[in-house]
Structure 1
C-alpha cells in the first residue's frame, strides 16, 4: 500500500460562515515562538481511506522545534538550543527551502508528532465500527510500502496533532487497550517509536553492552527502558542533576555528561551506542565501541557536524546506522509492550495546548526527565453535536 503526501490548500484553515471550527496551533513560517498561532480553523474532513481523530493528548518533541527553526537546513551547523538564540543562523535557515525533513516544509501547517486520541469519524472505505476507538497514531509513514526506505512524517510533511482534531490514513491508527491516562499515552509515539527503531536496527540482544547518550530525554529514557526489556546491560549518560532518575529507569551504570567516555568506560567496551546527541562527543562514541560494534542515531541535538576518525570505522569494522523511517514491526511492538505492561510512561508535565510556547521554552531548557504533553481544550457543544459525541 502506498500513501501519497497530501497536496495542501493554503486556504484550508479558513472558516466558512456556517462551519464548526476547532482550536489549533498553526505554525506560520520558520522562526521563533511568534510563529506559533493559536487560532480557530476548519475541522479537516477525512478522505475515503482516512479517519478523523479527536486529539486527547499531544507530546512535545525536538523535531517540532527543529522544523519551526529550520534546523534541518544544510545552512545550520549548531545544535537546537544554540540555533534558538542565533539570529544569523535562523535567518540563513529560513532563506533556504531545505529546513524540513523531506521537501520544503509546508507552511502554514499544524505540527504535533505525538497523538493519543479517539476516532470520531471515518472515510467511506473504513469500517464505521472503528468510531470511538482509543488510539495512538504512527507518525512515521513508509508511504511507498515497506520495501522502500522512503518515508513521510505527520507534523513535518502534513498537518499533525497540535489541534483538537487530526485526519490521517486509517492504516496508521492503532487501537490501544490500557489503563494509562491520555497524557501518559501521549508520551509514546515519536520518542518510543524512534527508540525502538534504533534498538531494532542495531539488533540489541540480551547481554549486549549498550551506551545511551541523552538518557534523560524523551527518546533516551525510552531507549533505556526498551534496551533493558531486551536484557541488555545499559550505561546511561545524563546530567549530574538527573542521576537518580536514570537509576529509576533501570540503567546499570550511569555516567554524567561531560565525562571523558574513553577514560570512564575504556576503549572497546560497548557493543552498541544509541546516540541522539552527537556534537563533540561523537569521536569518543566510536572509540568505546568494540570491534564489530553498532552505532545508531536519529538525531543530533548537540550539533550535526561531527568529526570521524575513519580508522576507527574501518579498522574496527563498525556499523553506523541512520534511523528515520520506522520498520514495520516497530509500532505494533510498542502497542503490545503497553498492553502487556512491559514499559512505563515517563510524563514530566502537561500544558494546555494554548500554552505551547511556554512548553517549548521549558522543553529546550532540558531540566526535565521524560516528556511534556499538550492537552487540547474540551470539545464545544457544537463539536459534540457534529460528531454525535457524549460527555463520557
Structure 2
C-alpha cells in the first residue's frame, strides 16, 4: 500500500502485570529515527532483571517480596519503575541490543549506516550528561529492542569490531555495565577480595570477570549444580549459595568488598563477614528488598555502602574496548525467538540457566 508506514514484528508490553502483558504484534509501526538518532536493525536483544521488574511493577515500594516475575497484589501507580515514576504503555522493552545501523536522522553522519553496534542503555541529557535526575533507560522511558527495529540517540549506539555473534554481544550492555558500575562505586583494586553472591546470573558472572580484570581476588557464591559453569568465569574460589556458617566456609579469606544483587534473608550474613573498613555495593535484590541491618555493625566496623544504578557515560564505551581486546568473555546461556519472549522470561525467572538469556528476532 503506497505511502503506508512501514511495520515490523514486535513484542509489546501492554501494562504492569504477569507474563500475559507481553503481546506479539506482526505489524507494529516501525520507528523512524528523529534528529540525532539512528535506526537499528536488531540482531539480538538480551534479557535482564529490569525488563522483568518493570513489567511486573516490582520496583514499587508497595512490593516487599522477592522478584517473582508475576503480577503483584498491589503496585503503587506513582513508583512502579526503576526511576520511581510511571512509564507509558504500550511499551517495547529490551535494552541490550546488538544490531546494524540501517538509517540515520538529521544531523547524524550517514557514514554510520552499516555499522555494527551495541547500545549504551542510559539515556542522558546531552547538555547535562552527568545529571542523574535527567536520565532515562532504553526500553523503559522509550521503546527498546524486543522488536525487529529500534531507534536510539546516536551517541548511545556504540560501534564494535568483534568476531562474537550478535547473541554473544547482546549479553554485555546491561549485565556488564551494571557490574562495572558497582565495582567502580566500590573502588575495587588488586588489593581487594571481592565476594560475589549470585555469581551464576548475568550480572554475577560479569562481576566475577570484571573484578578479576581489576586484579582482585574473587570468591563466587552459587548453587552447587552451577559451579562448573561459574568456574569457567575464573573466580579464585567458589562457595555454595548460602553456607550455614559463611565465616567458617571462608576460612582465612579477608573479604573487603561484597558485590551484591541478591539481598534477602541471607543479607546480614554477608555484611558480618566484611573486614573493618570494607565496602558493600548493591544493584539488585532478587531474593528480596527488605533486609535486617544492625547499625552497630555498620558504624562500629567503619563500613561503606554504595548503591549503583546509573553508570558513568564512559562505562559502556570502555566495555567495548575490553570486548575488542578479548579481556572479557560473553556468558551466553540460551537463545529464544522473539515470539517466545514469555518462555524466555519464565526461564530467566526460574534461573534455569547459568549466564545471560538472549532473544533473536
TM-score class, shorter-chain normalisation, is: over 0.9
Structure with higher helix content: 1
Residue from 214, 228, 240 that aligns with 2:212: 228
Secondary structure class of the residue paired with 1:295: strand
Other-structure match for 2:52: 65
In the alignment, is residue 239 of structure 1 matched against residue 223 of structure 2? yes
Q: Structure 1, residues 278-316: CA drift from partner, whole Å, max 9, x if none?
A: 011211121111111111111100001111111111111
In the alignment, is residue 329 of structure 1 matched against residue 311 of structure 2? no
Q: 1:16 to 1:196 in 2, by over 3 A?
A: farther
Secondary structure class of the residue paired with 1:101: coil
Q: State which drifts further: 256-265 or 325-334.
A: 256-265
Q: 1:141 to 1:294 in 2, by over 3 A?
A: farther
Offset, 1:267: 9.5
Q: Name the CA distance, whole Å, in 2 between partners of 1:17 and 1:302.
A: 51
Other-structure match for 2:20: 34
In the alignment, is residue 307 of structure 1 matched against residue 288 of structure 2? no
Other-structure match for 2:281: 296
Other-structure match for 1:202: 186
Q: Name the CA distance, whole Å, in 1 between partners of 2:94 and 2:265.
A: 30
Q: Structure 1, residues 136-195: CA drift from partner, whole Å, max 9, x if none?
A: 010123336343223211112111100011111111110000000011001110001101
Other-structure match for 2:155: 171
Secondary structure class of the residue paired with 1:279: coil
Residue from 355, 358, 370 that aligns with 2:340: 355
Q: Contact 1:268/1:288 (CA < 8 Å) preserved in 2?
A: no
In the alignment, is residue 138 of structure 1 matched against residue 120 of structure 2? yes
Other-structure match for 2:105: 123
Secondary structure class of the residue paired with 2:10: strand
Residue from 71, 80, 86 that aligns with 1:99: 80
Q: State which drifts further: 191-200 or 260-269.
A: 260-269
Q: Contact 1:267/1:288 (CA < 8 Å) preserved in 2?
A: no
Q: State TM-score, norm by structure 2.
A: 0.95
Q: 1:16 to 1:278 in 2, by over 3 A?
A: farther
Other-structure match for 1:3: none
Other-structure match for 1:342: 327
Other-structure match for 2:143: 159
Q: Contact 1:72/1:98 (CA < 8 Å) preserved in 2?
A: yes
Q: State TM-score, norm by structure 1.
A: 0.88
Q: Contact 2:130/2:312 (CA < 8 Å) preserved in 1?
A: no
Q: Alignment length, in residue pairs?
A: 356
Q: Contact 1:56/1:375 (CA < 8 Å) preserved in 2?
A: yes
Q: 1:246 to 1:330 in 2, by over 3 A?
A: same
